[in-house]
Amino acid sequence: MEDILKTPAGFYSEWTTRDFVVIGLGLTVCVIVVLANLMVMAAIFMNRRFHFPIYYLLGNMAAADLFAGIAYANLMLNTGPWTRALTKKQWYIRGALIDISLTASVANLLAVAVERHQTIVTMQLHSNMTKRRVLLLIVCIWATAIVMGLVPSTFWNCECRLDDCSTVAPLYSRRFLIFWAVLNLLSFFVMLATYTHIFIYVRYQSRYASRHTSELRHGQTVVNLMKTISMVLGAFVICWTPGLVTLLLDGLLGKDSHANSYEKYCLVIAECNSLVNPIIYSLRDDEMRKTFRGILCCLCGRRGRRQKEPPAVEIDSPLPEVLSVSAANQSRTTSKLLKLETGSSVPVPLAGK
């Protein structure tokens, strides 16, 4: 292996057509993931109707997906034959970025679940949390994610016990992989249980609210928002569960799990999750879809062309009341002139009256 690393020709001879295809497609998906989630964050920032705690958390979810796109891009640039040239520090950075993105997404989904449970139980559409509390919650989410990403490189690794090393993530302890996979899978079950309880409660309340039109509309709005969030959660669980199960089997069985033969496919599925959320937002939320169109029109220059066209209503036009009064006076003056031209008499008040 040392000869291959030292000889550039030997290094490049290890490349195959499959490597070029996988890395090319992977980088393409990463670029789309970054741009799509940037658009979600811009939509939430620009539209005041999204300035509520639940949308701030969804925006933070988009930030986690954007970070995941960057992490996957770094992984694509340090995989295949490039893997042999990585230093120990680069190994840890490559794994830490993936850990941080996953932990941030899981913690954010847990926060969304707690927020939805609190608001729906209290029969509200949006939480009463202040912006300062939401910001503090987001900071705690990222702090937890960074700590979990730094754990393997600081103390929980297999540098002193090579027989405990993982086959999927070298330098990672198999015991850490077991802990990390079990922790995330348990978080999935907690979120599923929370949303199941919310749906049961909403169905019970909708039967009672069906007698009142206003409460029924409010319940439908809550249900629509819950469906969107549930689709985001379902896509996350479906995309990440195969990868977590693979890590769990690798931690339990080691080389006997043959995880290297299918872990790339699990990674591709997990990468697609960061692209699914913007699609769900655009399909489920009409207001989000309109904001996306506005952003795209602005980027394409359509808004600039529209501004060149003369406006239908002048900004400095008179008030409607002034227009009505002036129109009435003008009609009276016109009628008097017509009477004078035709020789008709104009009524004049009598002197004694």
d(CA 239, CA 327): 67
By CB atoms closer than 10 A (0-12, 13-18, 19+), residue 112 is buried
Nearest to 66 by CA among 105, 26, 96: 105
Instruction: With respect to residue 77, please indicate whether it lies within any of the assigned structural domains.
Output: yes
Range of the domain at 183: 17-300
User: Residue 187's CB: how many other CB atoms inside 10 A?
Assistant: 17
**End-to-end CA separation in angstroms for the chain:** 121
**pLDDT interval class at 222 (50, 70, 90):** low
For residue 334, the surrounding DSSP H or E stretch is: helix 320-342
pLDDT at position 339: 45
Per-residue pLDDT averaged across 104-128, rounded? 80
Answer for the pair 63, 117: CB distance below 8 angstroms, yes or no.
Answer: no
Domain count, the chain: 1
Q: Given this model, what pLDDT does residue 193 score?
A: 86
CATH number of the domain bearing residue 201: 1.20.1070.10
**Do the domain assignments include residue 163?**
yes
Return the exposure string of 25-53: e unless at least 16 CB atoms fall within 10 Å of the residue's CB, then b.
ebeebbeebbebbbbbbbbbeebeebebb
**Please, what's the largest Cα pairwise distance for the chain?**
126
Q: What angle do CA 36, 38, 42 make, to 5 degrees?
A: 120
Residue 107 CA to residue 126 CA, distance in Å, equals: 20
The neighbour count for residue 123, using CB atoms within 10 Å, is: 12
CB-based contact 251:168 (threshold 8 Å): no
On whether residue 7 sits in a domain, the answer given is no
User: Could you tell me if residue 147 is inside a domain?
Assistant: yes
Please give the mean pLDDT across all residues of the chain: 75
Establish if 74 belongs to a structural domain.
yes
Query: Does residue 133 carry a pLDDT above 80?
Result: yes
In a domain, 256, yes or no: yes
CB 38 within 8 A of CB 64: no
Q: Tell me, yes or no, if the pTM score tops 0.75.
A: no
Mean pLDDT of 72-82: 81
- Place 8 in a pLDDT band, splitting at 50, 70 and 90: very low
- Range with the lowest mean pLDDT among 177-186, 296-305, 311-320? 311-320
Residues contacting residue 85 through CB under 8 Å, at least 6 positions apart: 5, 11
76 beta partners: none
Lowest mean pLDDT among 29-33, 188-192, 338-342: 338-342
Which tokens sit at 93? Answer: 């950075």
Tell me what pLDDT residue 38 has: 92
Is residue 316 domain-resident?
no
Residue 172 pairs in a beta bridge with 157
Q: Is residue 28 part of a domain?
A: yes
Burial class of residue 156 in the structure, from the number of CB atoms within 10 Å of its CB (0-12 exposed, 13-18 middle, 19+ buried): middle
